[in-house]
Structure formats: C-alpha cells, structure tokens
Amino acid sequence: MGNEIAAVASTTNLNEQQMNYNSAVSAQAHVVEQDAKAREVRPAEEAGDSAKAKARMQEDTTTKTTIENKNIVFRRYDSEGKEINRVPPSTRATG
C-alpha cells in the first residue's frame, strides 16, 4: 500500500508541474502576442506645413544649458539673440 501512495503522490506532483508549465507557457504566449500587437506596422502621418514651419523655427534657434542655484536651466534663443523659451520657467518677475 505504501508503494501505491507513493505512485499516486508522484503522479499528482507531475500533474502539478505540468499545470505550472502550461500556465507559464500561456502567460508567455500572451506577452508575445501583446508585443507583436504593439509592433504592428502603422501608417506614417504626413508632415504638414506646421511641422515644416516648426522644423524651420528650430533651425533658426540656439539652445544653451546653464546651472543656476543648483538647477539645470535650458534656454532657447532666436536668431536675433532674444530668449524665447526657458525650462524651468523663470521665477523672477520680468517687466
């Protein structure tokens, strides 16, 4: 009778291992399916006039990076040298 119990226990353990394996394979297949869905080819958008204008604007600007009060500050200047953008925004009042 001891051998029969051992045989049933062994079979039960194998079934549990097979179920765990099947579950892992199923989860992996789901991940692969989601990855393939995310990588599907999507049509490219047409670059309109606004995109071209923005690209031209960026060509006419210069960017400088400085450190102020232990913070990194990015500034963009137009072709005339006037500051047009600052990240983070200035906390000083201008006027």
pLDDT at 29: 83
Domain extent, residue 79, equals 49-87
CB atoms within 10 A of CB 53: 10
For the chain, report the end-to-end CA distance as a whole number of angstroms.
Answer: 95
| 30 and 54 housed in the same domain | no
pLDDT at 84: 86
| 38 and 55 housed in the same domain | no
As a whole-number percent, the residues of the chain with pLDDT over 70 amount to 60
Q: How confident is residue 2, by pLDDT bands cut at 50, 70 and 90?
A: low
ω into residue 43 within 30 of 0, thus cis? Answer: no
Range 67-80 average pLDDT: 87
Q: What's the number of domains the chain is made of?
A: 2
92 belongs to a structural domain: no
Range 44-51 average pLDDT: 64
CA–CA distance, 85 with 76 (Å, rounded to integer): 5
pLDDT at 95: 44
